[in-house]
Structure 1
Amino acid sequence: MKLTVVGGGSTYTPELVDGFARLRDTLPVEELVLVDPATDRLELVGGLARRIFAHQGHPGRVVTTSDLDAAVDGADAVLLQLRVGGQAARQQDETWPLECGCVGQETTGAGGLAKALRTVPVVLDIADRVRRTNPNAWIIDFTNPVGIVTRALLQAGHRAVGLCNVAIGFQRKFAQMLGVAPADVHLDHVGLNHLTWETGVRLGGPEGEDVLPALLAEHGESIAGGLRLPRPLLDRLGVVPSYYLRYYYAHDEVVEELRTKPSRAAEVAAMERELLAMYGDPALVEKPALLAGRGGAYYSEAAVDLAAALLGGGGNPYQVVNTYNKGTLPFLPDDAVIEVQAAVGSKGPVPLPVSDMDPLYAGLMADVTAYEDLALEAALRGGRDRVFRALLAHPLIGQYAYAEALTDQLVAHNREYLAWA
């Protein structure tokens, strides 16, 4: 089996490699190809990847290259984890929206739209090149904003599934609180990428006992603290929102915080410099503890399970993925990309049935889906007016004066990435 990681020079990659090494019985990778145009970073990461495989006795081969076509040739699956513009572009995404009093974040709001505009054309070009040589290869997208990028891939006819680590993070946290194995925890996870709620926590599978009420009663303070939301809010909702919902439920509070502390991009850039220095140490044969602070916790385990299921191997048959709605949520279009539990096999994911959604959540999902429609149109067709329309539609913006100013800022800061600008 050959797997290719586009963006293989990312400091995330050793997390992924560690999972491939540990879980080789689930996903027997014979050749792992890391491809990245940043050859200096790629060699540091690739060297550590080879040492991790060797240290854990993995017989597979790790190849590094900057040649995308060679990297994807013959691949059974291609994982996308690229960042167009790097941390410098992320720094911009997280700062200029604050000038208008709006959240500055790399996956939602104006910053998320900027990232989508930079990313969608690049990802579609990569996917077209994969399809030319491997029309049956699966594309697993971890590149943000996952929902918009996955929808672009699916609309273009690619065999693609979107992946996020929010659900598996909750699964691991709840399993620890309940004193059970993670595999025994099944989440009723529903929403859009980075706009999700855990509406049930079941033991043993989709039909198992829902222990979410008991979990909130016993561990509500801890769960709320991790989300940085007040415990009474969780009690009133009766569900567990993802931490990205804080941008909606406490927008003004978050904006004030972001204005008074270093950006996450600056923190990550500093961490990446330290990690890359570690990766260059020939004595390092395991992923360093510092990597846990980089983000993407449990990404490797989610990726292994998903790739194994898609390629006809083992792995958990039920997984949270981003895929077409196809009637699962009747208040959204069939071609909306939703993030839900699905049965995953070699033909792709099939979403599991979802209970009727409270209008409190369904309404916000419908609003953000409409924004994503407009965001994808702007990414595919360009134009200042399309950018303005997407920003005006976003629930975190929604005022014409803000949308106008943010459009100017977005174009000014991303001109080199926008063919139409």
Structure 2
Amino acid sequence: MRAWLRDTAGGLSATYWYLWTGLLINKVGGFAILFLSLYLTSQRGAGTAQAGLIVGTYGIGGLLGSLTGGVLTDRWGRRRTLLTSHFTTVAALLALAFSSDLVMIAVWCALLGVAQSMASPAFVAAIIDVTPAEKRSRAFNLQFWALNLGLAGASLLAGLLAQWSYVGLFLIDGACTLVTGILIAWKVPETLRTPSSPSRPRAGGLGTVLTDRIFLVFVGLTLLQALIYAQSNTIVPLAMHADGLSPAAYGSVVALGGALIVLGQLFVPRLIDGHRKHRVLALALLVDGVGFGVLAFADHLAWYLLAAAIWTVGSMLAAPPNAEINSELAPLALRGRYQAVFFLTFPAASFLAPSVGGAGLQYLGDAHWVVVGVLGALAAGLHLLAGRPRERRVAAIRDETSAVAEVS
């Protein structure tokens, strides 16, 4: 058991583990946004439409925060961006806890979206900085596991705390964020390297990222993957309701997926080590497609549980190589900006999946899931085609990074 744990940890640095701990604390305590719509309707007198609009400001803030965080991560540094993000988040949560005016709540909600999203590019860029290339697969696998473990903990705690006090949700969330901020201030040094060579090429900006075709193809495939997987929390509950299944049945589907990730994610590196990342991603997308394709035949809970088990395996296989490729395609001086553009795929999928998926389910019925399955197979094929050019780009970036490290 000790040998397995040692292999899983992979000799990762102390700084990585402080960042990992901060991510876990944030996720375990990050339950305020989960119950924001209920808080608005039950405690602040908002109508359903008003609550939806206010919660939507959080998503808009998230888009802005991700881009802002990416730029600041490269200019200010990882540590300073993380500290600004966490302490601003604390202020926004405190303001939300004690605000009653719906307009001000919308303002604070948007600020919360900006502040929380700023941290994502900085967290990932810092992990890349302190983790050698050969250990990043394990590092990102552990990160994905921590995020899901924290989400599972938050889901359990939030339901209990909401019965006690909605205001308490915001205060405890803020306290957890404050603890993470203090941990970063105390234990996490600045990881951004600033090469001093006068001959270092100009880094560029967001324009460089947005004209990088190989990276944008990867981002597009990640968006397709996110759109497929987002069916699980947007369209699947609608399909289950149409089949006469209760919300509790959907809860069991969600619980199964979370349990599989918490119990099985740590074993994934041993399964995929030694295999080309684009082939692992192709297999993962194909498995995802099969999982959702099964729903074309689903009319009982057992079918939905089987489908959830399949698509969860796909997401578990995809997580490490997806994050690793993302880290490898980012040049040293633009890691924050690359992470920012990459992270835009997830709020975009959160918007597109219910919009497009809802129409698909309404007009295509069960054939909607056949389409989703075909998209998974298509994405798998595209990953295989894109794999070789990505590998050549990664090799070039690796050589450039090594050269910069030698002169700095």
User: One fold, TM greater than 0.5?
Assistant: no
Tell me the TM-score normalized by structure 2.
0.29
Tell me the TM-score normalized by structure 1.
0.28
The structure that is strand-richer by fraction is 1
The structure that is helix-richer by fraction is 2
